Amino acid sequence: MAKRKRRVAPTVGAGSIAVSHPPVQPGLVSSRRVVPAGVERPPYALMPGGEPHPPTSSPVRTREELEAMRRTGALAAEILIATCEHVRVGMTSDAIDRFVHDASVAAGAYPSPLGYRGFPKSVCTSVNEVICHGIPDSRRLASGDIINIDVTVYREGVHGDTSVTLMIGEPDDHSRRLVTETRVALYEGIGTVVAGAQVSDIGRAIQNHAFKHNLGVVREFIGHGVGTEFHSGLQVPHYYDRRHSTVLAEGMTFTIEPMLTLGSPQVDMWDDGWTAVTVDGRRTAQFEHTLVCTPNGAEILTQTAAGECAHELFTEPVD
């Protein structure tokens, strides 16, 4: 098992709202899990260090690719729902990784994070002040924690990417507000998507909602094009900048995944090169869907065939 270190960063306003006590500390990381030989790999999984080729795919999907994305997105939604049903106080994030990994390969899918640019696990688990890309480890979930679980799977040559923030046990009121309004912000962004709109419309809607509720918007990590590539060239910031003038076209597929904070949205990094945390130790939440742009709005691809998703099913704390 590997041990990581948390960089020592100054804590701003240590007595202020929803600062983690104690702060999240790195735990032990178990060995990389094995994907059966018969499961199709994304190209980067076959490259040294998991390094992907520079993005080359069109942001607009073919009809066949889009049909595959609906099926793969539904699978991602099903796995995320099942994972949320499985999470309990006292569970390690490594056990969450095992569950997601086993569910993915049982469905004939490759867990997209595994090996991507060297990421060692099959899912990202980001607890409390961890903004994103948390590596599952031996730390146990405590009552009052919040955790983002980010599931991406690759099947039929395409990826489906979705995440939800769960409240564990008895979270404080500030954490409840953060999680609730981050979920709303995601849907505010989704509500702007329609052929002919601009990418900046998404960021403006999310930023307006965040600022209305005195929440920060992380700028370093953004939504992205997704389809045959895990991350294509399309970028979807969650803050407003009129220079983000890319026009959305019918058939474009991408994620919206706002990360909002109770305090400063500035980012610090652990020495593992992946785990991003808030510099002031205050909490952060994230929600994500994969979407396709249509002439009439956004179609959510990461929901089940029955139209269900973890975002709507798990709005109350889990025990």
Are 303 and 73 within 8 A, CB to CB?
yes
Give the C-alpha separation, 154 to 108, whole Å.
9
Q: What is the pLDDT of residue 231?
A: 97
Mean pLDDT of 309-319: 96
CATH superfamily of this structure's domain 59-302: Creatinase/methionine aminopeptidase superfamily (3.90.230.10)
The predicted model scores a pTM of: 0.95
What residue spans define the domains of the chain? 59-302
Q: d(Cα 245, Cα 97) in Å, to the nearest integer?
A: 38
Six-digit token pair at 115? 């090996």
Q: Give pLDDT, residue 11.
A: 43
- Position 303 scores a pLDDT of 98
pLDDT of amino acid 290? 98
Confidence of residue 22 (pLDDT cuts 50, 70, 90): confident
* pLDDT 10s digits, 196-221: 999 999 999 999 999 999 999 999 99
Residues 78/96, Cβ–Cβ less than 8 Å: no
Query: Has residue 14 got a pLDDT over 70?
Result: no
pLDDT, average across residues 59-72: 97
Tokens representing 8? 């020592």
Residue 20's pLDDT band, with cuts at 50, 70 and 90, is low
DSSP bridge pairs for 150: 124, 163
Mean pLDDT across the chain, nearest whole number?
94
Indicate if the pLDDT at residue 1 is higher than 50: no
**Three-state SS annotation for 136-161:** CCCCECCCCCEEEEEEEEEECCEEEE
**DSSP character at residue 2:** E
pLDDT, tens digit, for every residue of 232-251? 999 999 999 999 999 999 99
Instruction: Determine contact, residues 119/100, Cβ cutoff 8 Å.
Output: no
pLDDT for residue 31 is more than 70: yes
Checking if the pLDDT of 5 tops 90, the result is no
Nearest to 236 by CA among 248, 227, 250: 248
What integer pLDDT is reported at residue 199 of this predicted model? 98
Q: Quick one: pLDDT at residue 150? A: 98
- pLDDT above 70 (res 270): yes
Considering only CA atoms, which of 213, 210, 214 is closest in space to residue 239? 210
Q: Which of 287, 268, 283, 25 is nearest to 135 (CA)?
A: 25
Q: How far apart are CA 215 and CA 220, in angstroms?
A: 16
User: pLDDT value at position 10?
Assistant: 42
Residues, the chain: 319
